[in-house]
Amino acid sequence: MNIEFFHDLEALSRAAAAFIEARALKHIAGKNIFTMAISGGSTPQKTYALLAASPYRERLPWGKIYLFFVDERWVPADSTFSNFRLVSEAMLKFLPIPKNNIFNIPVGGKSAPADARQYEKMLKAFFTGLNFPVFDLVLMGMGTDGHSASLFPSSSALAEKTKWVINSRAPIDFPVPERITLTLPVLKQARETLFIISGKGKGTILQELIKNPAAAERYPAAHIITNPATTLFVDKTIFT
């Protein structure tokens, strides 16, 4: 685990965009493809906007970049709560990336479990012959309760060992309780993970995770943060 601190979200976002570019170019140079699973939420929006603008829009070979989603709220794709809509409005609609390179989580089926199964089929068709998919990079965040992806404290979803994608439920006070998410075994397989952490109310939890890795059973994010291949970019204002 590597941790870097930044003065504010603006500086963090600039560093995150540069980090993503460096990893993309490295993997494309080595194997002509770069796979990244991305997250929704407010924290990465500035990073996405930077990637969609010059110089990243021109410098990155978007035809060789494949984007997947870490999780999704089970709402229509045009809902204001949709992660796909958030990422599309911040980044995707501005990029010269082929539509076939974007693997958003389906939300139009009869149920969230059915759509979770459909997304797993999509991933297995892309990552053929593997026990679990191996993303080159996963971009993640952390909630004020220590959740990450749509894996929440005390959720039975944390115990999943074999499935790639499952439906899960957020606490009742969260918007849109029905979710679809990649599982912990999938998230742990990534070659690298970048957490970008900003927002009030997260400083105490982050300090506990750093000092006490055994907190993994309490905070879902710790299951991934403590991996050696994880980098944390932290906005220092979370401690104020």
How many angstroms separate the CA atoms of 64 and 33, rounded? 5
Contacts of 28-31 with CB under 8 Å at 24 or more apart are 28/61, 28/64, 28/65
pLDDT tens, position by position, 71-98: 999 999 999 999 999 999 999 999 999 9
What is the reported pLDDT for 132? 97
Domain ranges across the chain: 2-179+186-239
CA distance 14 to 35: 20
Q: Does 213 score more than 80 pLDDT? A: no
Exposed/middle/buried for residue 51 (C-beta within 10 Å: 0-12, 13-18, 19+)? buried
Predicted TM-score (pTM) of the model is 0.96
The top-level CATH class assigned to 2-179+186-239 is alpha beta
Task: Provide the β-strand partners of residue 181.
Answer: 71, 166
Span 159-189, pLDDT tens digits: 999 999 999 999 988 989 999 999 999 999 9
pLDDT surpassing 90 at residue 218: no
pLDDT of 18 higher than 80: yes
Closest by CA position to 76, among listed 41, 115, 119: 115
221, 181, 229, 227: which is closest to 202 by C-alpha?
A: 221
What confidence category does residue 226 fall into, taking pLDDT thresholds of 50, 70 and 90? confident
